[in-house]
Structure 1
């Protein structure tokens, strides 16, 4: 609707024309013809009684052709909004003003503004009516333009009454044109509380100051009572001469923008958008916090100039040129210069922003501060052990430098992969997976020795410790595992095991055994016959092998014969060999063990079990250095060193006459008596470790050691079978225990008496733990007498005192059994 302030003037003139003073028709005609507005009058039957010059000019109808005709007859219309509003006015007896109509003149449609009012005489009786209209082509075109605008547009006069209200304003606010035209703008759109809080509205500020005003966040009250968030642009309204006529305000619904900003401000990552030139046009709260720049400082600025980033500049060049298809940039690490001069490491992603036709209109940039992640990375990379973390699905989320070196995989190759795809351990993908055990246990670390497969396919012995990762509320979010490369330790052990030292194959800390081992090098230098005495399983053959390996005969064969296991005829042929035809099945010559051991060492085990007849033949060989193969009468010279062994008491057998005295003295040139295992209990931990390593290699197991409870059981056993019995016990435990620690329930039932106690497991025993345990047990066995303990352990009193202090062994601990 367009406001018409001249209607009152027209009506006033018409009322004067009906008075007695201006009753002259000529004078009335002259006055009406001088009006700029088109005017015609009608009687009570709506017949035209006057038709002024302006009406003739607009309609093209002469007054003489109009007089006497009804308005509807003169201005026929096929439109619903009839031009002749005077009919309605006479019927309702009230005026209608500022009505926009389309006047049909021939084939033309003329937009006009129409007003009408009843005419009364001096007595107040209605005598007819008057209708005025004026052409509003320019105003109408302006209205059409405004109605096509996307933004709501309102104009006001100098009193801030609404003079124009376009279609978009109607749609946004819910008010119709008729409801708001001519009314104060502030009263329509602002509550009293808002007007009081705001003071001057943007429109008033623009009119009062003469300068445009921009507000990005204003709230209007709609017709339905809702609050509408809008962005406002207000400006003064002036004519061509610069005269202030009022004000104009455009406004746009900000609901989507505010919702978007609210969403963006709740995102923990920094987010900003740019246009296709790289100008920043949005900047969320997280971006403000990361960079220190408030929104008003960054909006409208080029991002690469703001952040001084080469990557941003390169991205903008791609935008400007678009020589290549702009692809998303995902999680690129770069550094931004922020407001206070700091350089912030960020992980940034950038995706193109396209319109509905696929045209590039800008970019969306997201970034997060990765300072803590980089610090975390530097810390992990400074650790010498390999470290990696996984999420709940066992996907690798971090992978340090040491682990790159151990595995051969780079961080880029490992991240996002399942850990079993990278390490390929025999435990991976099974219920024994250390990481799965740690995560499922909810806090109990899992410790294992295992073998990993590197990228090149080589096997790497490692020790792994896995633990669960939880957030601040205790929720499981993944796991962490440290991996220690045991290659050097394993190689060192291998070298030590094959070092060729005098004690090769002999593991001992026992003072008695160490005294024996100390004289073996001297015995090795001689070719004298040696007699080794000891219970079964004490290691007599190992002693014989050690003597041989240290002698000048070590380059030749070491041949062992179990003398007591064969009858005389078989033993004789086994030792001396035979000729073809010596007996029924002797089809060809066969050399015996003496010949096989030529220039080497012949070990005769269980020498106390051979018959007297065989004793005579063996004595002859020792004395004459010759022997005769079965079926031959030709003596054969021999150059062998004989080491005999037995678990029997040969002196008693000589006294009883079951063993030849002369043979005994021939054998007993050098005598070595091996102590049983029960007299060298300090060797048990060392032997246990040896057997565990042996069976781990043989059976491809990953047993880490024995628990303290198991070690205590083993130390307190008598071992009638000696070392062989201990080896059998460990071998039995390997049947039930596949990894971790050997526990009491893994031991034979006859050893534990069928009882299984709940012992705490603290991990595999180290050599220090073993030595500490041995000292404590020795002190207890010797009733805490240190000199006796020193003699048993083969160490000095000062050494014992120093070790007690180093291992923090207290009197209370010794007494606490």
Structure 2
């Protein structure tokens, strides 16, 4: 019977002489049965606990089972073998002790595997089908602050408290589906409760017959990478404006000088491009930042109210004017007045605004006493003021007074390289406001967003991310979390199963994204390759190789040189 057991088994009598020795014991130790029968077990095994610490002796003396104790024994050749032993007393039918029995299992491969796991820089842990941790390597201990002794046996959610614990759990999904998951960015909490950004991959664990018996997950600490990204993102940020595009970077470079100037500023750009953010950034960087910042949407007020809102009125100026009321110019005294949608103001108000710009004074309605205006004026519009001048709708003299410093904001479709960084910015913003632990957007979902034209510009992208927060419980925003028309079951399935067909489905692969980014940079730099290299942060050789790889051709026919 003993010979059918895979573990080594031997028995001893009351004098610790070996009385039986199975085939597995022979295989592990190198001793044959006839060589060991009748000999003392200590003379055969030479274990590190022979003597007073002998596990078999303790088991017999205490009349109880002792299980799963790791020790070292010697083989017949003198080689050290790590084994896991269990011992129990042998009793006769009357309950008298007649000896002891010990089983031992060679754990050389397990220790070797553990040593290999402990030498891996990534954290590695395994779970059984009940989500109990069964192994926890040294890197996992270092990243999480939990020791393997504390972690093993506990539910993985008790240890990690990750942003995807629950129905979005990566290791659960791989166990249920039998398919691996790779490179998900999530956050976990260490033993002190500190949030740690990590990248994870998970796979199912199977037995020899292919049955899933648990899962294995590897994870990499992204703290250093996240810190580097934050440092890099700072160079892509001015006040609350986020952009890495060359056009916006040029604007960032001149904004501090514009902010220090008292000159009137005209901000042009389509709806949703961030004109108010630029105005606020100028105010925050100016020497008037400690004074009021007053916003007036000229397009939202009817002509009859706009004049009184801007300049105020005196009691009796009109029927309902019971008492004096100060206007927005008075409210902004010493500070900055931002006139949004300046192209919508009526000509009657244009005349008065022109006087303020020329003479720095205005008169409230119902008054003939000039009031000094110490106000920095910033204006913005999504309309073509020059066309309005030609049509006689907008005063030419006012246009030139406003057009002292002009800032033209490009639409989002002309700065697609900003879509990933803007999406990340909005995700962080909504995570903080809504308290959801959403850490990023999947590459498939981002590919769809990269392809879109954004008639509503940055505001529309912000709305898309906000909608995704409603459907995404945590972790990563996937395609199915996007609003229509971005998400449809057919397009999502195609994106997940085969990114190579993404162009046909209206998606961009990573290669197509890179190709487009390089081409757009070349266009912006008029195919001057040194300028393109500087903008993209790549070498001349890399740019030349990418141009050849993607077959990029200058439409003007000039091949260009890498030296400008």
**TM-score scaled by length of structure 2:** 0.80
Distance 2:476 2:498 in 1: 11
- Residues 1:382 and 2:110 aligned together: no
Alpha-carbon distance change, 664 to 569 in structure 1, aligned in 2, over 3 angstroms:
same
Q: Contact (CA 8 Å) 2:178, 2:212: kept in 1 or not? A: yes
Task: Show the counterpart of 2:131.
Answer: 394
Change (3 A) 1:803 1:586: farther
Where 2:455 maps in the other structure, the secondary structure is coil
Residue 134 of structure 2 aligns to a residue whose secondary structure is strand
Deviation, structure 1 residue 554: 4.2
1:279 aligns with 2:17: yes
Q: 1:583 to 1:326 in 2, by over 3 A?
A: farther
Query: Does the 8 A contact of 1:710 with 1:744 survive in 2?
Result: no
- 1:667 maps onto 2:402 in alignment: yes
Q: CA RMSD in A?
A: 4.3
* 1:776 maps to 2:512: no
Q: Over residues 196-225 of structure 1, what are the superposed CA-to-partner deviations in whole Å (9 max), with x where a residue is unaligned?
A: xxxxxxxxxxxxxxxxxxxxxxxxxxxxxx
Residue 307 in 1 paired to residue 45 in 2? yes
Whole-angstrom CA distance in 1 between matches of 2:325 and 2:90: 94
Aligned-pair CA distance for 1:427: 3.7
The match for 1:475 among 202, 211, 224 is 211
Structure 2 residue 389 is matched with structure 1 residue 654 = yes
- Confirm whether residue 412 of structure 1 aligns to residue 149 of structure 2: yes
Q: Distance in 2 between matches of 1:750 and 1:742?
A: 11
Q: 1:566 corresponds to which residue?
A: 301
**Cα distance in structure 2, aligned partners of 1:584 and 1:276:** 117
How big is the shift at 1:468?
A: 1.2
Is 1:705 matched with 2:441?
yes
Q: List per-residue Cα deviations over 1:534-586 (Å, max 9, x = no partner).
A: 11112222222333344344455544332221235654565556789989999
Q: Provide the residue aligned with 2:106 in structure 1.
A: 369
Kindly state the Cα deviation for residue 397 of structure 1 after the two structures are TM-superposed: 1.4
Following TM superposition, by how much is the alpha carbon of 1:398 offset from its aligned partner in structure 2, in angstroms? 0.8
Q: 1:616 aligns with which of 323, 340, 351?
A: 351
What do residues 75-101 of structure 1 show as CA deviations (whole Å, max 9, x unaligned)? xxxxxxxxxxxxxxxxxxxxxxxxxxx
User: Contact 1:510/1:794 (CA < 8 Å) preserved in 2?
Assistant: no
Q: Distance in 2 between matches of 1:587 and 1:416?
A: 77
Q: Secondary structure at the match of 1:474?
A: coil
Which runs of 5 or more residues in structure 1 are unaligned?
A: 1-262
Counterpart among 72, 76, 98 of residue 335 in structure 1:
72
Within 2, Cα distance between the matches of 1:266 and 1:622? 101
Q: Retained in 2: the 8 A contact 1:307–1:336?
A: yes
Residue in 2 that maps onto 1:603: 338
Quote the Cα distance in structure 2 between the aligned partners of 1:317 and 1:333. Answer: 10
In the alignment, the residues of structure 2 paired with residue 495 and residue 743 of structure 1 have an alpha-carbon distance, to the nearest angstrom, of 29
**Structure 2 counterpart of 1:438:** 174
Residue in 2 that maps onto 1:29? none
Query: Structure 1 residues 787, 411: closer, same or farther in 2, change over 3 A?
Result: closer
CA distance in 2, matches of 1:596, 1:714: 42
Matched ranges for 1:191-230 at <5 A: none
CA distances 1:286-339 after superposition (whole Å, capped 9, x unpaired) = 1222122222333333333443334232344994898x8454332122222222
Deviation string, structure 1 residues 505-555 (Cα, Å, up to 9, x no partner): 333343333333332233233121111111111222222233334434445
Alpha carbons 1:733, 1:748 under 8 Å: kept:
no
- What CA distance in whole angstroms lies between the structure 2 residues aligned with 1:596 and 1:332? 81
Counterpart CA distance in 2 for 1:272 and 1:316 is: 15
Relative distance call for 1:661 and 1:414 in structure 2 (3 A) is same
TM-aligned CA deviation for residue 439 of structure 1: 1.6
1:467: Cα distance to partner?
0.8
Aligned residues of 1:745 and 1:756 also touching (Cα < 8 A):
no
Q: Tell me the distance in 2 between the aligned counterparts of 1:422 and 1:584.
A: 71
Q: SS at the partner of 1:543?
A: helix
Per-residue CA deviations over 1:465-524 (Å, capped at 9, x if unaligned) read 211122344332321111233444445555665x48763433334333333333223323
CA change 1:297–1:663 in 2 (3 A) is: same
CA distances 1:778-811 after superposition (whole Å, capped 9, x unpaired): 67789x9998555898447995853346669625
Say which SS state the counterpart of residue 401 (structure 2) adopts: helix
- The alignment partner of 1:758 has SS state of helix
Change (3 A) 1:280 1:553: farther
Q: Which of 155, 158, 163 is 1:421 aligned to?
A: 158
Matches within 5 A, 1:138-537: 263-316=1-54, 319=57, 325=62, 327-425=64-162, 427-430=164-167, 432-445=168-181, 448-494=184-230, 499=234, 503-537=238-272
The verdict on how the C-alpha distance between 1:754 and 1:665 changes in structure 2, with shifts beyond 3 A counting, is: farther
Partner SS for 1:479: strand
- Specify every segment of 5 or more residues in structure 2 that has no aligned partner in the other structure, as ranges: 503-507, 554-564
> CA separation in 1, counterparts of 2:39 and 2:322?
107
Contact 1:396 1:418 in 2 (8 A): yes
Q: Retained in 2: the 8 A contact 1:438–1:446?
A: no
Q: Distance in 1 between matches of 2:102 and 2:19?
A: 11
8 Å CA contact 1:704, 1:740 repeated in 2 = yes
- Cα distance in 2 for partners of 1:484, 1:321 equals 44
Q: In the alignment, is the contact (CA less than 8 A) between 2:420 and 2:446 conserved in 1? A: no
Q: Any idea what SS the aligned residue of 2:241 has?
A: coil
1:424 is displaced (CA, Å) by 3.5
| 1:17-61 CA-partner distances (Å, limit 9, x unpaired) | xxxxxxxxxxxxxxxxxxxxxxxxxxxxxxxxxxxxxxxxxxxxx
> 1-side partners of 2:490 and 2:16: how far apart?
80
Describe the shift of the 1:266–1:806 C-alpha distance in structure 2 as closer, same or farther (beyond 3 A).
farther
**Within 2, Cα distance between the matches of 1:558 and 1:770?**
44
Equivalent residue runs for 1:57-72 within 5 Å: none
Change (3 A) 1:599 1:492: farther
* Kept in 1: contact 2:59–2:88 (CA 8 A): no
Aligned residues: 543
Q: What is the TM-score when the length of structure 1 is the normalising length?
A: 0.57
- Say if 1:673 and 1:343 are closer, same or farther in 2 by CA, change over 3 A: same
Larger radius of gyration: 1
Residues 301, 724 of structure 1: alpha-carbon distance in 2 compared, 3 angstrom cutoff: same
State whether residues 465 and 483 of structure 1, in contact with CA within 8 Å, keep that contact through their aligned partners in structure 2: yes
**Bigger shift: 379-388 or 679-688?**
679-688
